[in-house]
Structures are given as structure tokens and as C-alpha cells.
Amino acid sequence: MTKNTSYNAYQITGGQPVNGEIRCFGAKNFATKAMVAACLGNSPTTLTNMPPIGDVDITANLIKSFGAKVEWTDTNTLRIDPTTAKTHKVTTPDSRSNRLPILMLPVLLHNFGKAEIPRLDGCAIGERAVDIHESAAMAFGAEITVKRTCFVASTKGKRLKGTQFQLHYPSVGATETCLFLAVRAEGTSIIKNAAIEPEIMELITMLRAMGAIIFLSPNREIKIEGVPELTGTTMHAIGDRIEAASWAALACATNGSITVDGIRPNTLGNFLSYYRQVGGGFEYLAENKIRFFQARELSPIMLETDVYPGFSTDWQQPFTVLLTQAKGISAVHETVYESRFGYTKALNQLGAKIQLSKECLGAKCRFADHGHDHSALIMGKTELNAIDTPMEVPDLRAGLGYLIAAAVANGTTTLTHIERIERGYG
């Protein structure tokens, strides 16, 4: 693979096994949220194993926009000093390219009693509504006005109050918003139907180290005793399980061998079982070090994405590419986002045979009878071949799927808009 810097593209010559060793970066889905959490403290925080990716840069600019300090002290260590923050407004123009600004709402409300943040964009994979974040903030006592380009919120000079809040779906982002609202609110808060992804558990560990009082209960319930202030801390970013699974899919799809370092095997959960089921193999070489390979001829499977501990929606795209190399008909049912199969059109241009369906190919989910193409049938094994036309990367995870497809395909494939991949992969 080569990078053409003249027009921001990758040129990938595929058709050969991919072999090698790579170290996982710190998880994007933890690292960026840890940066936000650091702004809740009354002293600096040091974050290690931080990934040099686009979303970290965007988050740093977002934090700097209201006056806090962010600096790299070495190649993978960030120091965040929130004590210099001076405004309740997030003004950085590139903050709208991801969904992190909404997580700044609790920080600014705690620190200034008011907040103004831009309206949100992000990857085109479904509605990803933020109304649950707004509802949560209002439940804790904030007043919110939605304007054309921004959200404006205020506590009316009062401290946020603890509350009970039921999530209608265990959203990761909404759980993080509720945690940030609750840790410095007055009184006790209970978050029901909360997300329990490994990155959420790491975030709770970090908040506890800062002085938060958080209890985990069965049935996705989190209890928080609010404290007046939090202090800075030092935290090591967990390895990126999404990245690790992507390299695993790449190794298996190309019949190669890739050793991944820096990943806790337990965070991969059900991925490893599906990987074995389809024909992938893996072996533990050392602590946090796994070799992935193709163990046998690949077989078709049926899988559904789901919230943790289910099969992650961010594993779906690399795995769908892998299934094009399995002999038979596989089915993938997406239950987290309603519009996440748009990338398959480009895969079909390379030679894949993927048919989308509005039906639930599995258990009936919340998108049933809503007219969304949220299931896919993958007919394999198909030979993939490069096309002359450059392929535009639509979003982060689909882009990694394209990269794997290009590595499988015979010939040279050009991927453009690779900054969307580099948001999460350095």
C-alpha cells in the first residue's frame, strides 16, 4: 500500500496474503472521551498510549477552543490542563466533523453553568439522534434551546441535580453524557439501561481515579454519588479492540498472518467466536499479543450486530468483506444503526455479491417494518478485482472495509478521502 499525498489517496495492490506485525493504538472510542473527562477535573490530567489520529486532533482543538490547554509531552502522551478554561462556548470549526461536541455539554455546564456547542454531523450511517443527550441534560436540571447552528444550555446559576434516567437504548454516547452529568451533580443519580462496552468501563475507572463515586449494578444500571469537584489523574488508554478486529479480518480474508500487539483479548469478546466459526484462527503469543490467520477454508455464517457484549457494529464492515471469501451464503443483520450498508455498493463493483434487505435476517429488531436496508446477504466465495475508478471512502469503518477489500482484490485500487480512515487509524 502506498499513500499518494498529492491528492490524499491510498493506492493498494492486492491479491496477495498480508503478513506482518502491528501494535494497536489506544482506542479511539476511549481516548477521545478520556480527553473530555479530563476537563471535569480541577487540575491537569496525563493520558498515555494516546493514538495519533484525526479524532484526537479534533478533540484537542475542541478543548482548546474554550481555553483549556492540550499538549503532547511525547509521541503518545497528552497533558490536559482544564484550569485555564475561560469560556462556555465551543467555537472550533472542525468540531462538527465528529460527535464529540455534545459530550462537552456536561463539562461546560459544570464549569460555567452554561454551554454553547455546535450542532452535530459525523459519519453518514443513520440518524444518530442527540435528543437523548438533550433529554438527559434537562433531567439533571439544565434548560436547553436548540438553534439552527448550535445548542445553548444553562443551569440558571444552580448546580445540576442528581436524577434517575432511563435510556431507551443502551447508547454509548448517551451513557457517557449521563456519567459526565452525574459525577459532579448534587445528590444520587441512577442510569438505567446503560451501555457497558469496555471503553465505558475504562472511563468509569478513570472517573473513579479522579474522585468520582460510581457503583455498577446488574441489568445495565449505574449508580453515581455526585461530588463537588474532581481532580486530575494519570490514565493509560486501553488498546483499540475495533482496530484489532479489523487487522484480524484482513489477515483471514487474504490468507495471511498478522500479529497484533497491545490488545486485551477479553475486550474482543464475541468477535473471537464468530472469527473461529467462519474459519479464522488465532493464538496468544504473549500478554496482550495475538496472531491472527486463516485456519481453514472459510464457511458462511449468520451474525447480528448488537451492543456489548454482542458483536460490535464497528466490526461489521471488515467482517462483511471477510464473508465475501466464504463459500456459501452468509447473512448479517445490523441492529445498532439503521443505515450502515451503503458501502456494499462499492464492494459489488469489485465483484462481491451482496444483496441488501429491509427484513430482519435474525431476531426482530427495532428497525423492523421501518423500510431500512439493515440486513445483508453475502454470496461467496467471490473473486474481487480492482476497478479503474477511484473509490471514495464514505466513513471511518466502511473505509477500513474498503481497504481490506482492496487488499483481497487483484490489481491496484485507489481509495480517496482517506482522512476519513485516518480519523481512527493512524
Candidates 35, 57, 78, 339; CA nearest to 199 is: 35
Task: Report the candidate in 247, 280, 274, 251 with the shortest Cα–Cα distance to residue 261.
Answer: 247
Rounded CA-CA distance 231/206 in Å is 11
DSSP β-bridge partners for residue 361:
none
Cα 141 to Cα 3: distance, rounded to the nearest angstrom? 50
- Torsions phi, psi of 114, nearest 5? -155, 165
Our answer to whether residue 123 is catalytic in this structure is: yes
- Asked if residues 50 and 237 have their Cβ atoms less than 8 Å apart, the reply is yes
Of 39, 123, 150, 178, the active-site residue reads: 123
Question: What is the CB-side half-sphere exposure of residue 84 using CA atoms within 13 A?
Answer: 10
Q: Which residue's C-alpha cell is 502522551?
A: 77
Q: What is the rounded CA–CA span in Å between residue 105 and residue 138?
A: 11
| Burial category of 86 from C-beta neighbours within 10 Å (exposed 0-12, middle 13-18, buried 19 and up) | exposed
Ranges assigned E (strand) in 27-105 = 45-48, 69-74, 77-81
Distance CA 76, CA 338 (A): 35
CA distance 242 to 245: 5
Give counts: helices (H), strands (E), the chain. Answer: 12, 23
Contacts of 398 (CB under 8 A, 6+ apart): 317, 342, 343
Neighbouring CB atoms inside 10 A of 357's CB total 15
User: Which are the contacts of 15, defined by CB distance < 8 A and separation ≥ 6?
Assistant: 408, 409, 410, 411
Q: Indicate which residues carry an active-site annotation.
A: 123
